[in-house]
Structure 1
Amino acid sequence: MIDPKVACHPTICYRPIRPSDLLILEQLHAELFPIRYESEFFQNVVNSRDIVSWGAVDCSRPDGQSDELIGFVTARIVMARESEVCPRSSWDAPNPKWIADLLSYDSSKSDQTLVYILTLGVLESYRNLGIASSLIHEVMKYSSSIPTCRAVYLHVISYNNPAIHLYKKMSFKCVRRLHGFYLISGQHYDSYLFVYYVNGGRSPCSPVELLTIVVSYMRRGLSSLAARLRKNEEKVPRWLKCKETRCLLTTQSRRNLKTERNGFECV
């Protein structure tokens, strides 16, 4: 795999992925991901068959490499009404089992769509330069330009902490954890489902969110009650408060004397 010498301030440009990128795209996927993708997937990417994509290139590299991919993102549009549990192939977008997990879906609007991010990667030498964020922004802008699109969603393997941090930073919402979603080298791994809402899309009110609302109202009610009790307490005459204090002190004094005399106190 190519190991370029990165300039101190590389000039990164973004463009659609083209048929001429086929070989380097395959090499990048093989290097960056533990999953092996079918040749059909790459053919669909470079020829824009049901898949949209953006590539990042370093225009400051020497001639012959200035237009070579150093990062990429691939995505596809899926109909919100679809509810397939498993993809038809390894590159298909695994649609959510229940669309309610993603957004408040209006079944009367059959044209609502979602954009699923299939793959995202940046050559190691070019990481921490904001390239991944810029590629995701391209997907966000594209999704926002589609009037029927309500959300962008994706899956992240549970141990990929840098990716999880990135998506949270970019205002993606973690909707749920999917147990055993990935099967890699015979071992199952969990994944997190992340969603970014566009064009008025919004998440449904989950049971956890309902509980949070109820608890919030209860806390507010208790705070209001405590405030009223404090207000009523302030209205008690000062002389009555002093009388109660003297009685308390007298009782405590008797108890102390009894304790000193007997050496112990029964409770």
Structure 2
Amino acid sequence: MVNPKISHRPTLCYRPVQPSDLGILEQIHSDVFPIRYESEFFQNVVNGRDIVSWAAVDRSQPNGRTDELIGFVTARIVMTKDSEIADLLRYDSSKGDQTLVYILTLGVVDAYRNLGIATSLIHEVIKYASSIPVCRAVYLHVISYNNPAIHLYKKMSFKCIRRLHGFYLINGQHFDSSLFVYYVNGGRSPCSPLVLVTFFITCVKTGLKSVAAKLRKNEEKMVKWPKCKETRGLVPLQNKQTIKTELSGCEYV
């Protein structure tokens, strides 16, 4: 596919961000994001200090720019127990080494958008997270008005699990954020469909057992109606009892 904004058919490749990308990385962040990042952040990215990253380049770009950054994604590994979404995961606190991958920034040069570059970069992150046995999810924040990004993450099966009011402060104005999660290596929400179905079946089984027990108890209390020799009628020895079955409801959050 050729983007109308570029005059050639791109040959897209992906590699780690490296120190020589520093200048263009800073420039793209400045062009793409309304938030300004400290120089320390960029140094950490290009030198791989606690941050993993992938760069997109166009090998068929003219004028010797075949290794110039046209897109990127940066991410960081965080401990699940220390993350802001620990309560939104089916997290086993006894396994303190469980981790998550948090996407910090994702950007593509304007001329190269709508070519699937962002999707490929996110797939690199997901593949990386999946390769870590103790990693349970990839997650990120999206500002409320970034509809293309929201559409992209939903299309890639990310789940929006929380909306944070006033999360961003930009030029004195607050903006909401959506929190998206993609589960890997068996990670899932405490209220995932599998968990809810299992919980529902347990409730039904418990309820049926309770009803059966009460029916058996009632049968034991029941007394037969003996026939009266003189009248050949039925004489009740005790009043009938009404069985009440109480069903407890399940409340989901």
TM-score class normalised by the smaller sequence: 0.7 to 0.9
Check conservation: 1:7, 1:60, Cα contact below 8 A. no
Q: Number of matched residues?
A: 196
| Matching residue within 65, 86, 89 for 1:99 | 86
Stretches (4+) displaced over 4 A: none
Equivalence for 1:66: 66
- Which amino acid in structure 1 is aligned with residue 56 of structure 2? A
Instruction: Report Cα offsets for 1:52-76 as digits up to 9, x if no partner.
Output: 0000011111142110000000000
In 1, the alpha carbon distance for the partners of 2:98 and 2:86 equals 11
CA RMSD of aligned residues (A): 2.1
Describe the SS at the equivalent of 2:43. Answer: helix
Instruction: Report Cα offsets for 1:22-72 as digits up to 9, x if no partner.
Output: 000000000000000000000000000000000001111114211000000
Equivalence for 1:166: 152
TM-score, normalised with respect to structure 2: 0.74
Check conservation: 1:118, 1:154, Cα contact below 8 A. yes
| Greater percentage in helix | 1
In 1, the alpha carbon distance for the partners of 2:120 and 2:23 equals 23
In 2, the alpha carbon distance for the partners of 1:70 and 1:24 equals 9
TM-score, normalised with respect to structure 1: 0.70
Equivalence for 2:179: 193
- Which amino acid in structure 1 is aligned with residue 87 of structure 2? A
Check conservation: 1:174, 1:192, Cα contact below 8 A. yes
In 2, the alpha carbon distance for the partners of 1:107 and 1:117 equals 23
Q: 1:100 deviation in Å?
A: 1.6
Check conservation: 2:138, 2:183, Cα contact below 8 A. yes
Equivalence for 2:18: 18
Instruction: Report Cα offsets for 1:156-178 as digits up to 9, x if no partner.
Output: 00111000000000000000100
In 1, the alpha carbon distance for the partners of 2:179 and 2:32 equals 20
**CA 1:166–1:5 in structure 2 vs 1: closer, same or farther (change >3 Å)?**
closer
Describe the SS at the equivalent of 1:25. Answer: helix
Equivalence for 1:40: 40
Equivalence for 2:216: none
- Which amino acid in structure 1 is aligned with residue 107 of structure 2? G
Q: 1:8 deviation in Å?
A: 4.1
Show the 5 A alignment for 1:231-246: none
Check conservation: 2:157, 2:182, Cα contact below 8 A. yes
- Which amino acid in structure 1 is aligned with residue 150 of structure 2? I
In 2, the alpha carbon distance for the partners of 1:42 and 1:124 equals 20
Show the 5 A alignment for 1:243-262: none
Question: Which 5+ residue runs of structure 2 have no aligned equivalent?
Answer: 205-253
Check conservation: 2:5, 2:112, Cα contact below 8 A. no
1:109 and 2:99 aligned: no
Question: Which 5+ residue runs of structure 1 have no aligned equivalent?
Answer: 83-94, 219-267
Equivalence for 1:229: none
Check conservation: 1:117, 1:153, Cα contact below 8 A. yes
Describe the SS at the equivalent of 1:174. Answer: strand
In 2, the alpha carbon distance for the partners of 1:129 and 1:5 equals 11
In 1, the alpha carbon distance for the partners of 2:137 and 2:196 equals 22
Show the 5 A alignment for 1:101-250: 101=88, 103-205=89-191
In 2, the alpha carbon distance for the partners of 1:26 and 1:128 equals 22
Describe the SS at the equivalent of 1:81. Answer: helix
In 2, the alpha carbon distance for the partners of 1:37 and 1:169 equals 28
Instruction: Report Cα offsets for 1:109-137 as digits up to 9, x if no partner.
Output: 00000000000000111000000000000
